[in-house]
């Protein structure tokens, strides 16, 4: 699995077919379930509404692609896509704002109908990319239904399947779930096999349980003790990245979307072994390096940042599709006199402290501890943000050399600098979406260079 900008997508010319979820004429409205949205979904939907009211022209979506080798069986692919949509409840929902509450109306799995359209032939890589990007820009939004698009580009030697979603229904690991399931069900359908169908654990049920648990949360409650201690250390709910990015508060900028390889597989393996020698996991070592690099170019002596943490501990949701991610703050020292072993140990200590409070929803903490920012549809200023995924642990990863899966996050505009580190079979990579202005590009380039230099020094030493 690679995470890339759409400009890096290696896709050839071919015939394009698409499928869209439609409401059948026989839809039984009495059977449509009404459920509450999760905290993440509610805040995301509110931001989309605000953007519409402000007549803002911004595009945000996340897409994925993977290959089917040989001549594709379109009927088998449609059967696999149909099963995928029927299995995951969040894909069958639509959102409606009622009296301040965001409600989900959920189509029963038995009513799923996919409408097939033959789009036609595109004669170049650029034409295919342009079609995908324009289609996703025009159709993917938290305010539209359905909340995703699906299709395939039939190329001479293989076919490239693509799916795009609004963030309101998925996270990064959900894309890996989708690749494995659709590939497996496609192979079964193409072979004429029939296996038992089972609906997956529902993200909407996860969100409802989270709401029940934290409905009575208060700003001074013991559940938010970790957040309050972070606020005392960092000085603000949103930890500002200690670099001049040339970004004005309240303004969005066109985004720069890039990916680079930091280490090849051999180098990444050597670095992971170094982390283990110092009792650290790979993500802890990468975060330590990011912190040391940031300290080197900014002069900061403490790293204050936000990081996403997965919420799939319950076995019911291990193979579910949804937004199973919380956002948590983390702090650790990064002064110039700190060694890598000391920094890894500090990251490990900070993460163990963080994980004790990981179930407290970020959006609820935001509402209670930073109400002055809660009405904003964007973060108030450039926030220090770190993310790490190890795609080697994803379902079906042993087949990735044949499937060639890609994830493609898109943000046409941003007011911050998000960085995603990820490990795959090829090595360690960094993907970023930052404001495309000269000051920000200069600062983030210096940051990425410092990360690379720090890694090189550690491996050479």
Question: How confident is the model over 269-321, as pLDDT tens digits?
Answer: 999 999 999 999 999 999 999 999 999 999 999 999 999 999 999 999 999 99
| Cα 116 from Cα 100, distance rounded (Å) | 36
Cβ-based neighbour number of residue 236 at 10 Å: 14
| Cα 288 from Cα 306, distance rounded (Å) | 14
| Cα 128 from Cα 122, distance rounded (Å) | 6
Band of residue 55 on the pLDDT scale cut at 50, 70, 90: confident
Is 206's pLDDT higher than 70? Answer: yes
Rounded average pLDDT over 387-397? 96
Mean pLDDT value across the chain: 94
Is 100's pLDDT higher than 70? Answer: no
CA angle 409/41/250 to nearest 5° reads 70
Cβ-based neighbour number of residue 36 at 10 Å: 17
Does 249 or 91 have the greater pLDDT score? 91
Looking at residue 99, its pLDDT comes to 65
Looking at residue 23, its pLDDT comes to 87
Q: pTM for this structure?
A: 0.95
Looking at residue 27, its pLDDT comes to 62
Report the Cα 385 to chain-centroid distance in Å. 13
| Cα 266 from Cα 243, distance rounded (Å) | 32
Looking at residue 180, its pLDDT comes to 98
- pLDDT > 90 fraction of the chain, expressed in percent and rounded: 90
Rounded average pLDDT over 407-429? 94
* 253-264, strands of its sheet edge to edge: 386-390, 417-424, 427-435, 253-264, 413-414
Is 101's pLDDT higher than 90? Answer: no
Question: How confident is the model over 159-188, as pLDDT tens digits?
Answer: 999 999 999 999 999 999 999 999 999 999
Looking at residue 250, its pLDDT comes to 83
Is 346's pLDDT higher than 60? Answer: yes
- pLDDT > 70 fraction of the chain, expressed in percent and rounded: 98
| Strand extents, DSSP E, 295-339 | 302-310, 325-333
Token pair belonging to 224: 């938010």
Looking at residue 265, its pLDDT comes to 98
**What domains can you pick out in the chain, each with its CATH number?**
2-206 (3.30.559.10), 221-460 (3.30.559.30)
Residue whose entry in the numeric block shows the structure tokens 């090189």: 456
Helix (H, G, I), strand (E, B) or coil at 84: helix
Looking at residue 38, its pLDDT comes to 94
Question: How confident is the model over 11-49, as pLDDT tens digits?
Answer: 999 999 999 999 877 666 555 678 889 999 999 999 999
Rounded average pLDDT over 410-414? 94
Band of residue 96 on the pLDDT scale cut at 50, 70, 90: confident
């Amino acid at each position: 699995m690679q995470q890339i900008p759409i400009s890096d997508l290696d896709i050839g010319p071919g015939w394009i077919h698409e499928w869209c979820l439609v409401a059948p004429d026989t839809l039984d409205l009495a059977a449509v379930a009404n459920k509450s949205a999760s905290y993440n979904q509610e805040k995301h939907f509110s931001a989309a509404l605000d953007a519409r009211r402000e007549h803002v022209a911004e595009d945000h979506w996340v897409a994925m692609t993977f290959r089917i080798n040989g001549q594709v069986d379109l009927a088998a692919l449609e059967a696999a896509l149909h099963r995928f949509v029927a299995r995951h409840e969040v894909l069958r929902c639509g959102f409606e704002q009622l009296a301040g509450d965001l409600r989900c109306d959920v189509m029963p799995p038995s009513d799923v109908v996919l409408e097939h359209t033959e789009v036609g032939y595109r004669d170049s890589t650029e034409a295919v990319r342009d079609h995908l990007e324009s289609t996703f820009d025009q159709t993917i939004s938290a305010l539209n239904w359905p909340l995703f698009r699906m299709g395939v580009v039939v190329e001479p030697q293989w076919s490239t399947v693509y799916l795009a979603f609004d963030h309101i229904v998925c996270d990064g690991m959900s894309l890996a779930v989708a690749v494995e399931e659709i590939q497996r069900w496609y192979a079964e359908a193409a072979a004429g096999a029939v296996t038992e169908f089972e609906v997956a654990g529902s993200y909407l049920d996860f969100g409802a349980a989270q709401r029940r648990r934290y409905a009575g949360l208060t700003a001074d409650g013991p559940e938010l003790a970790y957040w309050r201690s972070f606020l005392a250390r960092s000085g603000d709910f949103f930890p500002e990245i200690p670099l001049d990015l040339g970004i004005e508060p309240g303004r969005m900028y066109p985004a720069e979307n890039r990916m680079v390889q930091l280490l090849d597989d051999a180098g990444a393996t050597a670095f992971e072994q170094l982390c283990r020698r110092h009792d650290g996991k790979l993500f802890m070592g990468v975060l330590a390096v990011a912190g040391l690099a940031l300290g080197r170019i900014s002069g900061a002596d403490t790293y204050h940042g936000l990081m996403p943490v997965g919420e799939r501990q319950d076995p019911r949701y291990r193979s579910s599709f949804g937004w199973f991610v919380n956002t948590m703050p983390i702090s650790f020292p990064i002064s110039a006199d700190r060694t890598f072993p000391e920094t890894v140990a500090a990251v490990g200590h900070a993460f163990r402290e963080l994980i004790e409070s990981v179930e407290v929803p970020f959006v609820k903490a935001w509402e209670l501890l930073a109400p002055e920012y809660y009405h904003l549809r964007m973060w108030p200023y450039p926030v220090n943000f770190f993310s790490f995924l190890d795609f080697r642990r994803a379902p079906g990863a042993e087949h990735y050399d044949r499937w060639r899966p890609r994830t493609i996050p898109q943000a046409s505009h941003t007011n911050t600098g998000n960085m995603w580190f990820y490990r795959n079979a090829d090595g360690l990579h960094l993907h970023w979406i930052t404001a495309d202005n000269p000051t920000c590009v200069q600062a983030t380039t210096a940051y990425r260079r410092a990360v690379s230099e720090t890694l090189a020094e550690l491996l050479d030493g």
